[in-house]
Structure formats: C-alpha cells, structure tokens
Amino acid sequence: MDPHSNYRSLGPTESRVVLGLTEQGRRELTRQEAMERFGLAENTVSEVLSSLVRKGWLARAGRGKYLLIPPEWGATPISESNTLALAAQLTPDGYIAFSTAAAHWGLTTQVRNVVWIVTRTHARPRRINDSDIRFARLPAKALFGFDRVPVFGYPVPMSDLEKTALDCIEYPARAGGLAETSAILAKAARRWDWEKAAGYFERRGNTALIQKFGYLCDAGHLSMPEAIRV
C-alpha cells in the first residue's frame, strides 16, 4: 500500500502525524514528541493518539509511548499483547532471534521477559509492556536465514529453525546458557533439514562455531547423517 494512500479515515491532524512519521522513516513516537514535532496541543494530544490507536495506525508500547504500524499492514489494530509484532517495528533490518525465536519454534519451554532482536546497527535497549527488548549487533555476513512468520496474524521477521539453533550455539548466553543451548539443539536436530543446517554453518564460516556444534552433537549423542559429518 502506498504510504500516502488510505488516509481518508484520518482527520487533518491525524494525517499529519502518520504521514510525518512515515516520511521521516520514524517508527517510534512519544506523547511529548507528538506535541513538539507535530504541534499537538496538550489538551488534545491524548485524544489524537488514542484515535490513531483505535484506527490501527499506532500501537501502544508503554506509558506515553507508541509505535507506527506500517501502512502495508492495513488498519487492523495490533493487540498490545503481541509484543513480538510491536518489537519488530523497532528495527527495519533486523529479526527476532536467540531464546525468543527458540520459544516460538518450540525449542525451549523457558519463558523469559526478554525479546532478542538481531540487527546490523547499534540500538539501545527498549521496553515494551512487560518485556525488555535487547538488540544484538551481528556482522553483515551473519544476517541470513530469517523470514517473516505470522505471529497472531502479523508478519514478524524471525530466524528459521536452523538459523535459530545456529545463533544460539554461537551466542549461548543469549539462549539461556550452554545447557539450555544443548537442549535447544537436541530438539532442533530432530526436526530440521540437516543439509540446510550444514549449509548455514558453512556460510557462517566460523571454525570455532563448527567445532562447538560438533562438540554439542557428540555430547548430546545426536545422530548426524554420515554425509553431513564428512
């Protein structure tokens, strides 16, 4: 959808806010910024922002904090409980990873209030609802193996099964520790495509990572296809 279209349902002030954020490439907005950047009066700013939430253009991300919903997502409001969809709006080039992705794929039963996002640029930690949003900056050559998956009806960029396990093995502290990483790998290995996984490890090109993977496979008595082992 063209970001300049579908504004008929918006009043002049609402349109100025949404169009301004879109043109500036901004995804976050606070109540104070709405007054300073878009000239909203203190006695009307809450009404305008609440209206934009009802119409599906903004989502609440905490007290006095809002996230812009991309126009191409349509005007159906995102549930405030859909933390992953909200967090994904914080960085356009990143993806949900590590323990967060592992939980999505059913590789861990540990529930944490931390959402991990891999990104190519530095970003400061945020907080959405009751979750801490943490960013991990990885080299460009490590940014592969992810796609948009539906989370409560919204497309969220997330590492696939194989890349989730690889990322957890490379950075076990972000997966709950080495023991939890070993458990994640054991579950992933029963479901993943071994050739695809091997291709990912080769593409990553990290000898220490491959050695760690081999160690965890041996320690966990994982059955690795002979062709892959060679």
The pTM is what? 0.74
Element (H, E) at 217: helix 207-219
Annotated domain spans of the chain: 12-73, 83-229
* Structure token pair of residue 180: 């939890």
Which tens digits make up the pLDDT trace of 106-137?
Answer: 999 887 789 999 999 888 898 887 789 999 99
Please name the CATH architecture into which domain 12-73 falls.
Answer: Orthogonal Bundle (1.10)
Residue 137 is predicted with a pLDDT of: 95
- Is the model's pLDDT at 75 over the cut of 60? no
Please state, in angstroms and as integers, the Cα–Cα distance from residue 117 to each residue in 128, 176, 189, following that order.
13, 15, 23
* Structure token pair of residue 165: 């396990």
* Better-scored residue on pLDDT, 143 or 226: 143
Write down the number of H helices and E strands in the chain: 10, 9
Question: What is the DSSP secondary structure assignment for residue 131, as one 8-state letter?
Answer: E
